[in-house]
Each structure stands twice: as C-alpha cells, then as structure tokens.
Structure 1
Amino acid sequence: MQTVRRRRLGSALRDFRVQAGMNTEAASAATGWDGSKINRIENAKAHLPIKEVAPLLNAYGITDEAVVTAMEELARDANKVGWWNNYGDLPETAYKTYVGLEEDADSTRVYTPGLIPGLLQIPQYAREIITATAITRTTEEVTALVEMRKKRQAILVDTARTGGPLDLWAVIHESTLHYKSASYPALMRDQLRHLLDMADLPNVRIQVMPIRANPHPGMVGPFHIVRFPQPWPTVVMLENIRGGSFAEGVDDVKVYEAAYELIQAAALPVNDSREKIRSIMEDSTS
C-alpha cells in the first residue's frame, strides 16, 4: 500500500540521490542493489527495511545523524495505515494526503477567507459547510466526513503525540464570523464560543482579518502551510472545491511563507482578535 509516509520516504530518497549527482544505474553500482529495487522504493512501491536506510544514505553522501535518524523513523512508520484510510475512497485523495501530512507536522499556518478552518469547526458547522461545498455527497457521506473532521481535531490536544499537540496559527476573515444558519439560529454563537475556547490553548493562535483591512496576499484565496521537524521540507496546500493541490518547491514555499507574514501583519493582533470574536458572539445573542 502506498501510504503518505512511504511516498514521502521515496521522494526524499530520490532527492538525495539526485543531489548526489547519481542516476539509478550509479546508485545501483554504489549500493550493490538492483536498479529496479531503487526505483520501486522511490516510487513507494516497495518497503525499505530500517537496517538498509543508513547504508543507502551513506552511498549518497548523507551521514548527518539527525537526517539518518529521521529517515529511519519514517521508514519504520512507512507501512502504517492512518486512521483516515478507514474511510476508504470517501475523502478526496488530496484531502487524505493532507490529513496524513498533518499527522506528521509540528505546525500549520492557515488562512481561510470564507470559512472557519476545519480543525476549529464544531460538528454542526462542519455539517453545514460540507453539505454546501461537497455538492455530490449523500447525507450518509456527509455524516462520515463530519466524523472524520472531528477525529482530525484531536491532534490539537493530543499530548501523547510525538512533539506534542499540533501548533496551529489561523487567520480567519471577519466576514466568516457573521455566518447565519437558517436551520440552527444558535450555530455561530456556539461556533464562536468554541473559537474562544480553542484560543485558550497554548498551541493555538487565532487572528481575525478585519473587513476593512488593507490589501494583502490572502485576497487571492485560502492556503495552508504545513511545517515538519527537520529535515523534512515545508509543504503548502491550496484549497479548492475538489480538495486541493500541493506546492512543495523551495521557491514556491518561500513565496507563501512571505505571503503569510503579510497576512498576519494585516490582521488584528491575537488579543484584539479575541475581543472581536467575543463582540460578534455577544451581538449574535442579543
């Protein structure tokens, strides 16, 4: 099975080989392995035993202990099937890939101009959003996707997780906080109270982008910056109605990281954002 971790391992090994100036034939000669074995590992079609990680990296000139250890840990977990695979083909492939990346990340930076980020949604809000956006889904499928979203959120409070709970920084557009539900009038009061509760966590920071903010890069659309422990590179996810796409090149990632800094600067500070959320919540109950 081509798990997300196995694909990341194969991709990293391919990058190391290319950086070493080796084609598959040269790597085969350096390791004594059949070239097809190297290809299968790089394409996530074969498992790489942990004991073979260090010798392979050594052949590519990689001897940094931190890098070797990280690669060995990834090889150890490469065949583990994530909980999200229990949902089969229901989630879009890009969404499952993102959840798999999120599981291994140490932090995410999210900008959402049109909705509350999934990690911060209450179930009723999630149901309404998924129903409205996943237009081909049945009622049963929507219920399963809401359940999946709820399971994702455990990552924010899981102290047993390697590295601790995920660090989340979310910038949410103010207009999103004024959402009105025809079927559940108290929805946003409950959702906004949940945002305030989540903002009390030491690993969660929330900023509000005011309606009258200065122009900023987030006006183009939503995106997620997913960061990992070294040596894994940062990945950016661009959201769309079919799930999303990914940007992984160093230059592309730098652009999005710079854009996020400008978005943060245009948004209200964290404490002011908390008061803005509280004010809107109180207005919704009056």
Structure 2
Amino acid sequence: MDSPTVLRRRLGSELRRLREGAKLQAKSAADSLGFSATKVSRIESGQTTLKESDVRAMLELYGVTDEAELRQFITLTRRSTQRGWWHDYGEALPEWFQTYVGLEADASRIRTYESGLVPGLFQTAGYAREIFRTHDRNQSSDATIERRVKLRLQRQEIIRDPSALTVHSVVSEAVLRRPVGGAEVMAQQVKHLIATAQQSNITVQVIPFTVGAHPALSTNFRILSFSDVPGEIAYSEALTSSIYIEKQSDIAWHATAFDQLTALALTPEDTIAWMHRLVSEEYAA
C-alpha cells in the first residue's frame, strides 16, 4: 500500500495539473480559495496533510464535476491522512524532518552529496549515537537518544532491497577523516561503509582534499526521484529546518553539480580501496 507521503504527492501533482488546466496561476487560485499562496504550494508539493474540505473546494474551483473523479480524489485524500511508521517515534523525530523521511521511504533513487557527515542511510549505531549526543541542544535523556538511533537504523531498511531503491552518494574526504566518537567508532563506521558500498544498489565516491574547490563546496544536498510520481525533489537542511526545491531549473542545477562531483571524485572502486587504507592507517586498533 502506498504511504501517506506518496499519496499526498500524487494528490498534489494532480491538483497542480487541474489548476494549470483551468488556466489559473497559483496566486489567483489561492485568492479565490481564501488560502495563502504558501498553502497552495505546500498542497501541490505534498508537504502538508490535506483536508477533505480543501480538496473539495479546489476541485470545484478547477471545474471537476464528474462524480467518479470526485470520489477518487476524496478516497485518496482520506488514505493520505494515515500515519507513516515514522510517526510512532514522536518527539524523537522533529516535525520538520517527518516529510523528508516519508519522501525517502517512497524514493526509487537518491543522489546525495555530504561534506560533513556520513549519510544517515549508511550510519552505524555508534556513529549516529555520537551525532545525536553532540547536536542535542535540549539535553535529551539517553532513552530519547536511543529512540533516535533506532529510527535511523529503521530508515536503513529501504536500502536492503536492491530493486526498490538505488543510492549514489558522494562524500568529502573530511567526512571520513573526522574522528566522530573516536577511532573505534570510526573504524566500525568506515568498515560498514565499505560493505554497504559493495551492494549492487549502492554507489559511494569520495572527493579527496586534493581536488580543491568544487561546485558544492559550501553546501550539502540530496536529489530524490520517484518511480510513480512525476518530477524530482532537491532537498537540503539546516540545524532546525529544511528546504524542498521542485523548480525544474533549480533541480537541473543540482543534477549538473552532482554529475561534476562524481567526475571529480575517486571512482567507486578506488573509493573502496581508499577506505581500506584509511582504516588501516588512521583507525587501526
């Protein structure tokens, strides 16, 4: 069964198609509906839970009168309000990150560049635990931190099935040289990354310091693609918020930057050999 997130994206995509078919700009539609332009944008991008009353009002404005089509939209709206598995983690998962976890679970392909951290889908429990402890401004209990670690590990289930998701990750050399949690934690993390990188659906490349400046020197980003929903999403995050980019020209810029990064990075095979050397030279017991 489709998750709530992908259902919201489907609905949003269809509502955008209907709006455009009705020759309405988003601002004009928002004014007619008594919505803010931001609300229309969030509905069309699948970033907010839909209300039946809002969907009915939008369909009426866009001229949808066929009863069967109306019933289909309302049924999808009701299904899209279901809770995803990640909601069971409550306060362990920040509200601003819930949308991303849902999108990640529905993606068929993820391209990611990271300059500071091992990507969450590849982190070990020890590495993740250290990250959560260090970044915890609220001094959460050990139990809350362990729930966050458990959530991170559960997210990784999506990479177990090679036919469901492919991930291509480019990371800065700094990611693997920074001794998060000490030598033992990093040795386990790098060894885990080596094993993960050898899965048929996973590609990992390291950009060495010797490359110098490159197109994403000051940022991290992810590009998510979906098999059953049109369009891609570029995603980046700060300490307490995140940005979703769906403008085609902006996504194309991110995709071009990613291609440039892959060309500058070590090949996947050389990356694995480099990580083996790193473990023996930097993190050996």
Contact 1:127/1:143 (<8 A) preserved = yes
Q: How far off its partner does 1:213 sit?
A: 1.0
Contact 2:9/2:229 (<8 A) preserved = no
Secondary structure of the residue that 1:168 maps to in structure 2? strand
Q: How far off its partner does 1:10 sit?
A: 3.5
State the TM-score, normalizing by the size of structure 1.
0.77
Q: How does 1:211-226 map to 2 (within 5 A)?
A: 211-226=209-224
Find the counterpart in structure 1 of residue 127 from structure 2.
Answer: 125
Q: Mean Cα displacement is larger for which, 196-205 or 13-22?
A: 13-22
Match of 2:51 among 34, 37, 45: 45
Q: How does 1:139-154 map to 2 (within 5 A)?
A: 139=141, 140-154=143-157
Matched, 1:285 2:284: yes
Find the counterpart in structure 2 of residue 103 from structure 1.
Answer: 105
Contact 1:105/1:227 (<8 A) preserved = yes
What percentage of residue pairs aligned between the two structures are identical?
26
| Aligned residue identity for 1:11 | G
Runs of 4 or more off by more than 4 Å in structure 1? 57-60, 71-77
Output one character per residue of 1:171-205: Cα deviation in whole Å (capped at 9) or x when no partner. Answer: 111111122255x5311111111011101110000
Secondary structure of the residue that 1:138 maps to in structure 2? coil
For 2:212 and 2:120, locate their aligned partners in 1 and report how far apart those are by CA, in whole Å. 26
Match of 1:266 among 259, 264, 267: 264
Secondary structure of the residue that 1:220 maps to in structure 2? coil
Q: How far off its partner does 1:58 sit?
A: 11
State the TM-score, normalizing by the size of structure 2.
0.77
Q: How far off its partner does 1:141 sit?
A: 2.2
Q: How far off its partner does 1:158 sit?
A: 3.4
Q: How does 1:1-286 map to 2 (within 5 A)?
A: 3-22=4-23, 44-46=50-52, 78-139=80-141, 140-158=143-161, 164-181=163-180, 184-283=182-281, 284-285=283-284
Q: CA RMSD in A?
A: 3.2
| Aligned residue identity for 1:166 | L
Contact 2:52/2:78 (<8 A) preserved = no
Contact 2:113/2:170 (<8 A) preserved = yes
Distance 1:48 1:205, change over 3 A: farther
For 2:85 and 2:53, locate their aligned partners in 1 and report how far apart those are by CA, in whole Å. 20
Secondary structure of the residue that 2:11 maps to in structure 1? helix
For 2:76 and 2:266, locate their aligned partners in 1 and report how far apart those are by CA, in whole Å. 39
Output one character per residue of 1:72-123: Cα deviation in whole Å (capped at 9) or x when no partner. Answer: 9976952442110101243222311111001111010111100100000000
Contact 1:208/1:273 (<8 A) preserved = yes
Contact 1:170/1:207 (<8 A) preserved = yes
Q: Mean Cα displacement is larger for which, 100-109 or 239-248?
A: 239-248
Secondary structure of the residue that 1:136 maps to in structure 2? coil
Q: Mean Cα displacement is larger for which, 73-82 or 105-114?
A: 73-82
Query: What runs of 5+ residues in structure 2 fail to find an aligned partner?
Result: 26-32, 35-39, 56-61, 66-72
Contact 1:48/1:75 (<8 A) preserved = no
Contact 1:134/1:241 (<8 A) preserved = no
Query: What runs of 5+ residues in structure 1 fail to find an aligned partner?
Result: 25-34, 50-56, 61-70
| Aligned residue identity for 1:203 | N
Contact 1:171/1:208 (<8 A) preserved = yes
Secondary structure of the residue that 2:217 maps to in structure 1? helix
| Aligned residue identity for 1:257 | A
For 1:74 and 1:248, locate their aligned partners in 2 and report how far apart those are by CA, in whole Å. 22
For 1:191 and 1:88, locate their aligned partners in 2 and report how far apart those are by CA, in whole Å. 27
